[in-house]
Chains A and B, each alone.
Chain A
Amino acid sequence: MKTHLRRLDTTALVYLALVGVLIISAVLVATTGRSFFSPGNIRDILTGMSVLGFVAIGQTLVILGASLDLSVPYVMSLASLVAAQTMNGNDAMVLPAVLLTLVVTACIGLANGLIVTVLGVHGFVATLGVGLMLKGYLDTNYQGTEGSVPWSFQLFGATGIGPVPISTIVMLALAGLVGFILVRTRFGHHLFAVGGNSEVARLSGVRQRLPLIGAHIGSSVCAGLAGLLLASRLGVGSPTVGSQGSYDLLSIAAVVLGGTVLMGGRGSIWGTIGGVAIFAVLDNLMSVMQFNPFLKDVIRGLVIIIAVALYARRRVIARRIRFIRSPTGPIIAAGSEPNGLEPNGLEPNRSEADISEAAGAHNGTGPVLDQESAPDQESASGHRSAPDHERSQG
C-alpha cells in the first residue's frame, strides 16, 4: 500500500487529499447537527473556489514556466475598476467593458513577460515591481469604490445552475481549456520545457521567450477575469479588492498545494484546481464551525507545509529501495536493475535540502563533467551553469 501510494501521480494524490478533507469536514459538520453537503453549503464552497480558481489557473502557467506572478492582486483590483467604470451601470457597455478589461490586463501581462524575458529580471522581482506600480496608481487615483456594474453583469457572480454557480462553471471551463492547451499545443509543450530547463529548450530549438511571455499574459488575463467576477459580486470596482484577499500568495499556495513544482517544468492545472478546492473546503469548514479567524490562517499554513513536505518526501523516496528490513532478515524488495539513480547516494546535502528533483534532475545533470578550459565554458552562454542551479520545491 505504501509503495503504491508513492507511485501515485501527484495530481491523484491531491484529489485523494481532497476526498479526505471532504470526509473529515462532513463528519465534523455532522456533529453540529448540520449537513455539509446541503445545496446551500455546496454552493458556498464552489463560490469560494471560483475567484481563487481563476487566479490560480494563471499562476500555474507562470509557475510552470519557472516564473512567478505577484502582481495579480493589483491586476484584479484594476480590472474591477476598469470594468465597473466602463460599464457605469449601463447594460450596453457590458461587452465593451469586459473586452477592454481583458485587453488592459493582457497588456500588463505582456509587460511582465517582456520584463522577465527581455530584461532578464526574475519573475518574482519583475511582477513585484509591476505590482507596486499598479498599487501606486490605484492608491493615488482612487479613494474608494468607483463605477457601478449593471444588474445583468451582476448575474454572472450571483446565479447558478442548481447549486453550481455560473462563475465556477466558467472557471472550470477555463481550467479545461488551459489544461488542453498545455497538453496539446506547442505553447504548452514549450512552456514545460522552458520551465524545466530553458537551456535544454533553447538547444532543442524552442524560442524560450514566447512561452514565458504567453504564460504571463495568461496569468494577468486570468487575474483580470477574477477581477471581473469580483466586480460582478460587489456591484462596483474597488482598488483594494485584490490585495485584501492576498490573492498573490494564496494563488501560489494553491498551485504548490496542487503539486506543481515551484521551480517550474512539472505540474498540472487539475492539481491546482484540487488545491483550490482543498482551500475552499477548509475555509468553508472553518466558517461553518465558527473557528477563530486567526486559527484559519494557521491551518491554511499548516496544510501547505504538510502537503509540500509530503511531495518532497515522495520525490526523495522515488529512488528504488533494494533491501528492506524484515523480522526474518533482509529480503529483496524491489527491482534489481541499475536504475541510474545511483548518483543520488552521493548527495548528502541534496538529499536533505533538494526535495523535488533529487532523482529526476540529477539524472539530467549528473554526468555534467567539465571538459574544456575556462574561456570555453564561459562562452557557452551560461550553458554549464544552467543545469547546476538547484531545483527545489520549497
Chain B
Amino acid sequence: MTTTPVLRATGIRKQFFGVEVLHDISIEVRAGTVHGLVGENGAGKSTLMKIIAGVHRRDGGQLRIDGQVVDFSHPVDAGRAGVATVFQEFNLLPDRTVAQNVFLGREPRKRGLVDVATMRTRTQALLDDLDVEGITPDAKVGWLTVAEQQIVEIIKALSVDAHVISMDEPTAALSEKEVAVLYRIIETLKSKGVAIIYVSHRLQEVFDLCDTITVLKDGALVTSQPTDEMDQAGLVRAMVGRPISTFFPEREAGTQIGATVLSVTGGGNEQLDDIGLDLRAGEILGLAGLQGSGRSELLSAVFGAEPFTRGAVRLDDEPVRITTARHGVRRGLALVTEDRKGTGLVLAQSVIDNALLAIRSVFPSRTSGMRAKIPEILQSLEVISRDADQEVRALSGGNQQKVVLAKWLATSPRVVLLDEPTRGIDVGAKVAVYKLIRSLARRGVAIILVSSELPEVLGMSDRVLVMSDGRIAGELPPSSTEEEVLALATGTENQVVGDDARAVGDR
C-alpha cells in the first residue's frame, strides 16, 4: 500500500442554476485504498463523483490526477486519465453482449473493422483477472443478475486501465451474498493498487471496506479521517448533524396484535411454491431472503398483481381470489413497490395527483373527500415539496417515497405490503418511514416488510419469514442474528450463477 495521493481535489465548487451545491471540497485518494464518501441525500456526494468522472464541470477548485491538473469535459476524458466510474444506474445496454458493453465507445479495430475476437478475449481476460465465473463475454447483459451486471460495470471501468474507480451505491441493488462477491473484487482491486472512491448509504459497508471516510453535509465537507478513528454513532452524528439515539423506533404504545387478517395456504405460481403464511392485524411481518428468492413475487402474488395460481387466500377468514391489482386495492391491500420511479409514481405528475392516483381509479366516489385530507397526510409524512402541484420528478428520493406512502394511506388499506421501502433514501427519511410503519401497526394495519437490509427486517418486525428459491424456508423471531437469517436464506442450496440450461441439467 502506497501513500501517494492518486487523486487530489482541492477547493471544488459547483453551482446549479446559481445555487452552490458544493462548497470548497477537498479530498485526497491514495492508491490501493478505499475512500468512503458518505452523507445524506443532497449532501453532494453524487455531484462530487460526477465532477471527478467528468460528467459535470466544476465551477471552482482544482483536480489533480497523479499530480497533474486535469479538466475533464466528458467521461471519456476522465477515462483516458485513468478515472472510471461505476454509476448508480447501470450504464449498460441489456440487449448487447458483455464484450460489446465493456468496449462500447472504445471498440478495438483492425483494418478499420471492429475486432470482435480481440474484444472477446480481452473481456475474458478481465473476467479471469477478477476470478469471475459464470459470465461469458458473449452473454447478453439483460440476462445477467444485478450483481453480475455490477461486475460488468466494474470490468468496463477496468478495461480503460483505470487507477481510480469510483462506485456510486454499488450495493444498493445487491443481496448480501452478492455483496460478498463485490467485497472480494474490491479487495482484488486494492491489491492491484487501484484507488477506489466508494459512496454508500450502508454504513456497515463503509466501515468494512473503507480506509478513509469523508463525510459531506449540505454540500460541505464535515470531516475526512481514517476509518479506525471513527465509530458508527459518530459517523451518523456527523452526517445528520444530530445524534440518532435509536435507529429503529420502538413499537408504539397501544399496539395490539389482533385477529388474523390475511392467510395464505399452499399458495404458488410460476415463481412461488407452497406458500403458507398468516398475518394478523397490527403485526409487522418481516420477509427476508436473497435477491431473487421470491420476496417481491410473494408480495405481488398477495396483492394480485401476479396472482397465485394455486392454493387458497383468505381475507378476514373469507376465501378470496385476488387476480388483479385493482382487486387487491379494493380489498384493502396496498403495495409499495421496490422500484419507486418505475412503478410507484407517475414522475411527470404532481404530488397531489400521485397521492390521489390509487383512490381516484379504484374508489372514485371517495376521491373528493380524500382530496381534502391529502395535504394533512403529506404533512404528517413531512413531505418537503414546493407545493402539492410540484412534479414528483423534482423531489428527492425520500420525499418521493413519502408520496408513494401517501398514495396508499389515502386508500385506508388494511394490509400494507412494503418492498424495500427505505432503499436509497437518506437516514432522516428512513426514520420517518419506520415511524410510519409503527404507527400503522398501532392502528391495526397488518404489514409485510421486505428488505435486503437485515438489521432493518430484524429491527422492525414481530416475526421474520425467510424465503429461499421461491419457498418459505422458515420463520425466525426478531431476536435472531443476521447469521441465522442468512443460513436459512442460503439453505443448503448452492446457488450458481450462470446460464439456466446448466441448472436445468443439474436437476
Partner of A338 from B19, B172, B274, B495 at Cβ < 8 Å:
B495
Q: Specify which of A183, A206, A322 lies most central, judged by the most chain B CB atoms within 10 Å of its CB.
A: A322
State whether A340 touches B147 (Cβ < 8 A): yes
Answer whether residue B66 sits at the interface, using C-beta atoms and an 8 A cutoff.
no
Question: Given A345-B296, A368-B341, A369-B424, is A376 in contact with B93 using a C-beta cutoff of 8 Å?
Answer: no
Contact A337–B21 (Cβ < 8 Å): no
User: Quick check: A197 and B93 within 8 Å, CB to CB?
Assistant: yes
CA A370 – CA B147 in complex, angstroms? 19
Query: Knowing A192-B93, A361-B94, A385-B347 touch, does A368 contact B41 (C-beta < 8 A)?
Result: no
A354: min CB distance to chain B, Å: 10
Residues of chain B within 8 A (CB-CB) of A346 are 296, 299-300, 305, 335, 337-339, 343, 419
Check if A345 sits within 8 Å of B271, measured CB to CB: yes
Indicate if the CB atoms of B340 and A184 lie closer than 8 Å.
Answer: no
Within 8 A of B (CB), among A265-288: 265-266
A323 to B255, CA, bound (A): 38
Measured CA separation A200–B101 after assembly (Å): 10
Check: B496 CB closer than 8 A to any chain A CB: yes
Any chain B CB within 8 A of the CB of A380?
yes
A185 at the interface (CB under 8 A from B): yes
Do A345 and B290 touch across chains, with their CB atoms under 8 A apart? no
Interface flag for B69 (CB, 8 Å): no
Within 8 A of B (CB), among A304-326: 319-325
Chain A: which residue is nearest B46 at the CB level?
A372
Cα-based distance from A385 to B35 in the complex (angstroms): 29
Q: Which of A193, A200, A261, A370 contacts B396 (CB 8 A)?
A: A370
Q: Which of A197, A361, A370, A385: most chain B CB closer than 10 A?
A: A370
Asked whether B90 lies within 8 Å of A330 as measured between CB atoms, the reply is no
A196 to B95, CA, bound (A): 8
**Are the C-beta atoms of A189 and B42 separated by less than 8 Å?**
no
- CB of A248 within 8 Å of the partner chain: no
Out of B147, B270, B338, B496, name the residue touching A321 (CB < 8 Å). B270
- Chain B 44-77, CB within 8 Å of chain A: the 1/0 string? 1111001000011000000000000000001110
Residues 331-367 of A contacting B (Cβ, < 8 Å): 332-343, 345-351, 357, 359-367
Number of A residues near B (Cβ < 8 Å) is: 76
- The answer to whether A201 touches B104, judged by C-beta atoms less than 8 angstroms apart, is yes
B507 close to chain A: CB less than 8 A: yes
Query: A242 at the A/B interface (Cβ < 8 Å)?
Result: no
Say which size band chain B's interface belongs to.
35 or more
A residues in contact with B168, CB < 8 Å? 371
Residues of chain B within 8 A of A383, CB atoms compared = 55, 89
Among listed B23-31, B138-146, B368-376, interface-contacting one: B138-146
Given the known interface contacts A205-B106, A334-B503, A371-B169, the answer about A342 and B292 at a Cβ–Cβ threshold of 8 Å is: yes
B416 to chain A, nearest CB (A): 15
Docked pose: A371 CA to B504 CA in angstroms: 39
Known: A206-B104, A375-B17. A193 touches B96 (CB 8 A): yes
In the assembled complex, how far is the CB of residue B370 from the closest CB belonging to chain A, in whole angstroms? 22
Q: How far is A340 from B173 in the complex, measured between Cα atoms in Å?
A: 10
B positions within 8 Å CB-CB of A: 16-17, 19, 21, 41-42, 44-47, 50, 55-56, 74-76, 79, 87-96, 100, 104-107, 109, 112-114, 116, 140-149, 156, 168-169, 172-173, 175, 201, 268-274, 290-297, 299-300, 303, 305-306, 309-310, 324-325, 335, 337-343, 347, 393-397, 400, 419, 423-424, 469-470, 493, 495-498, 500, 502-504, 507
9 residue pairs, one from A and one from B, having the closest CB atoms:
A338-B292, A369-B424, A360-B142, A340-B145, A360-B94, A373-B42, A335-B500, A370-B397, A367-B173
Some 22 contacts from A to B, beta carbons below 8 A apart, are A185-B114, A196-B94, A204-B105, A205-B106, A261-B95, A323-B269, A323-B272, A323-B470, A330-B310, A335-B502, A338-B145, A338-B495, A339-B500, A347-B339, A348-B325, A351-B306, A362-B339, A362-B342, A370-B424, A371-B41, A371-B397, A375-B19
